[in-house]
Structure 1
Amino acid sequence: MNHIYRSKKVVKKSRMKKVFFIFTLILFATAVTIFIVYWPNISKNEQQVLKPSKVRIGFAMGTLKEERWFKDRDILIAKAHERGYEVEWVNANENDVEQINQVKYLLSKNINILIIVPNNYEKCSSAINLAKKRGIKVISYDRLVKNSDIDVYVSFNNYKVGELMAKWLLKTVPRGNYVFLLGDPGDYNVQMIKEGYHKVLDSFIQKKQINNILEKYCYNWRKEYAYNYVNNLLEEGKRIDAVLASNDSLAEGAIMALSEKRLAGSVPVTGQDADISACQRIVKGTQLMTVYKPIDKLVDLTLDIVDKLIKNKPLKPTSMLNNGYKNVPTFFIDPIGVDKSNINDTVIKDNFHTWDEVYITK
């Protein structure tokens, strides 16, 4: 009986082992199947999580009124895309409140860095504060934001812009009645340009070789102001020997007033930005010169700075400029004075404008 009992016990244990083995085999097969079916998706999801998202740049522009700002926008977007960056851009249309609201919008789009062209150098500081509270680094682009915690200021050297205009006029008109047409008082570049030309001309003004018969702001850079200022002087019988207009739009307004008195071309007028119409006036002889600012270089410099800020690499600024809040790392690009003698070797050679655009008009 004992023998029969033990035999049954052995058989039972053997069956249990077989059942356990089969069960284990089924579990293993199920696990392998699940691994084969679901692993690609798991791996894919894991790769998506690990893959870094694109850097998104917010580009807040104060205006698109002048021709040059279209170039800044288009070149910056194109070159940013080449580097793998996304760009979300807005234009405040010279409205300070709208610019603050647009910065709020850009922050809602989860931008990683803010590039801003302030409409007003003082009123824009609250927009900067919004960005800094979110930990977003800010580049002040071609216009300085005063009294704010901007990280970088990148621009053309606007002191030299003023110096170039003054030096060109001095070579042509070393003495006489000068008219100074400044841009918008809310644009800090205007103050820099003013400081630049006064640095060159003040000694001549003090010696009475140059008479400053008018020095006025043109709000929002409107050429209508320039036209009215020059026209009123001419109507009063004042002689004008030279006009230092702070950009090409103001130059156009001044030349319109001069042309009505048949003085266009006989009174030297400066400008800035190398607008196509200004370049055409230069080759025709109605505008003396313009200050050319190679925007490609400014954009490349700006995006190099973006690279460094995103990667937390140290900046090596060419100078530091106090904006009323702190000393701001500053990068300047030198502008270029352009007249008839070098327009082919500058504006046209750089393909800023083509030869046909400058010399052939409809």
Structure 2
Amino acid sequence: MTKRSTTTRSVVCIAACATMLAIVCFLSACSTQEQAKNAAPKIGVSFGVGEAARWQNELEYMEERAAELGVGIETRLNKTDEPKTQTEDCKELIDSGIDALIVTPRNVDDMGEVISYAKEHRVKVVNYARLITNQDLDLFVGYDSGRIGQILGQYLSETVYTGDYLLLQGDPGDFNAALLYEGAMRYIEPLDDINIIADKAVTKWSADEAKQITLDAVTANGNKVDAILAPNDKIAGACRAALDELGLTAPVVITGMDAELDAVRRIAAGTQNVTMYMNLKELANTAVNEAVNLAKDDPVNVNTKFDNGTEGGVDSNLITGKLVTKENIDTILIDSGYYTKEQVYGESPVS
């Protein structure tokens, strides 16, 4: 055998070995990627919210859904930014090794630091319930605030088409509050025979502030008001308390949202007129499902695009909800098992 043929065979052998090594490395990488995809992800949840009862319930729904799916979950309910801020909560969750973050912001305009930190650590972000503005997000899961506002505004405009109106908006830093208000005003603004006695935002959705606004506005109007646009049930309850304190006995039409048990009891008693029911368990479950999809690089379920101030908007999964009145409490809330008849009409304590 010549030296040339021996050298050639050596080169071929080396090339074959290199090829085999590349194949092994490729297969190993694919296997590692597949294992990573199939591994149970970990989800972090951060709620920067107020005192409404819904938030604790939704955290529990999320924990239950994560257990059903066999995925890890860690939740933070931050009502006051004490002893830690929501930003600190989110960073701690990200540092703990989560794969996806579900976040409801306290301030929708001030989440840039959290979103950037998540991107740096390759953590997917599901924005939940309150739309974060001017940030690129992986998905928004929530309710169609504009459409809900239209439903409430239409109800008021058809029920009270003349008289004195008190308009309360949600927190001025909550983009969803603005959408709800704008939706309602599509029906209220065209009314010619109404007198708006006050039109104010309620900072941090404060029930105390809402009550004081109501007391001041109604007192200044000679203890007269016919309709109140309240953007959630906590504020509706504060408005009702103010009217009771003033001793008003004439009917006042009051809206609300969230279908909280106290509000449903008021509707049954005739001291609040409507609330909006969203299937919050379904919403919470959807957020967990989609967070898992994102963590595994699987397709997510999208039914619309939502304008959050970014180019192209954000992929979204939205629900609208149902208007609850005295006439349909049983059909919507009791027959579905959301509340029992005893909770609504009996003496059962609020749960």
For normalisation by structure 2, the TM-score amounts to: 0.84
The ranges of structure 1 where at least 4 consecutive aligned residues each deviate by more than 6 angstroms after the TM superposition are: none
Q: After the TM superposition, which of the residue ranges 67-76 and 314-323 deviates more from structure 2?
A: 314-323
Are residue 306 (structure 1) and residue 296 (structure 2) matched?
no
Q: Residue 358 of structure 1 aligns to which amino acid in structure 2? A: V
Q: Which runs of 5+ in 1 are unaligned?
A: 1-48
Judge conservation of contact 1:265–1:286 (CA < 8 Å) in 2. Answer: no
1:233 pairs, out of 199, 217, 221, with: 217
- Following the alignment from structure 2 to structure 1, what is the Cα–Cα distance between the partners of residues 272 and 250? 7
- 2:8 matched to which residue of 1? none
Are residue 352 (structure 1) and residue 341 (structure 2) matched?
no
Q: Residue 254 of structure 2 aligns to which amino acid in structure 1? A: V
Give the drift of 1:219: 1.1
- Following the alignment from structure 1 to structure 2, what is the Cα–Cα distance between the partners of residues 153 and 50? 25
Are residue 294 (structure 1) and residue 279 (structure 2) matched?
yes
Q: 1:259 to 1:314 in 2, by over 3 A?
A: same
- Count, aligned residues: 312
Q: After the TM superposition, which of the residue ranges 298-307 and 254-263 deviates more from structure 2?
A: 298-307
Judge conservation of contact 1:57–1:86 (CA < 8 Å) in 2. Answer: yes
Q: 1:159 to 1:274 in 2, by over 3 A?
A: same
Q: Residue 139 of structure 1 aligns to which amino acid in structure 2? A: V
Give the drift of 1:314: 3.0
Higher relative contact order (CA 8 A, sep 6+): 2
1:263 pairs, out of 248, 251, 268, with: 248
Give the drift of 1:303: 2.8
Give the drift of 1:71: 1.1
- 2:56 matched to which residue of 1? 70
- Following the alignment from structure 2 to structure 1, what is the Cα–Cα distance between the partners of residues 129 and 148? 13
Q: Residue 233 of structure 1 aligns to which amino acid in structure 2? A: A
Judge conservation of contact 1:153–1:329 (CA < 8 Å) in 2. Answer: yes
Write out per-residue CA displacement over residues 130-181 of structure 1, whole angstroms, 9 at most, x where no aligned residue.
1111111100001111111211011011112211211222232112111111
Give the drift of 1:94: 3.8
Are residue 220 (structure 1) and residue 207 (structure 2) matched?
no
Q: Residue 305 of structure 1 aligns to which amino acid in structure 2? A: E
Computing the radius of gyration over CA atoms, which structure comes out larger, 1 or 2?
A: 1
**How much identity, in percent, do the aligned residues show?**
30
Give the drift of 1:111: 0.2
- Following the alignment from structure 2 to structure 1, what is the Cα–Cα distance between the partners of residues 131 and 177? 11
For normalisation by structure 1, the TM-score amounts to: 0.81
**RMSD over aligned Cα atoms:** 2.1
Give the drift of 1:318: 1.5
Are residue 248 (structure 1) and residue 233 (structure 2) matched?
yes
Q: Residue 48 of structure 2 aligns to which amino acid in structure 1? A: G
- Following the alignment from structure 2 to structure 1, what is the Cα–Cα distance between the partners of residues 329 and 300? 34
2:152 pairs, out of 148, 160, 165, with: 165
Write out per-residue CA displacement over residues 297-319 of structure 1, whole angstroms, 9 at most, x where no aligned residue.
21232233223312323335211
Q: Residue 130 of structure 1 aligns to which amino acid in structure 2? A: Y
Partner-residue secondary structure (3-state), 2:113: helix
Give the drift of 1:341: 0.6
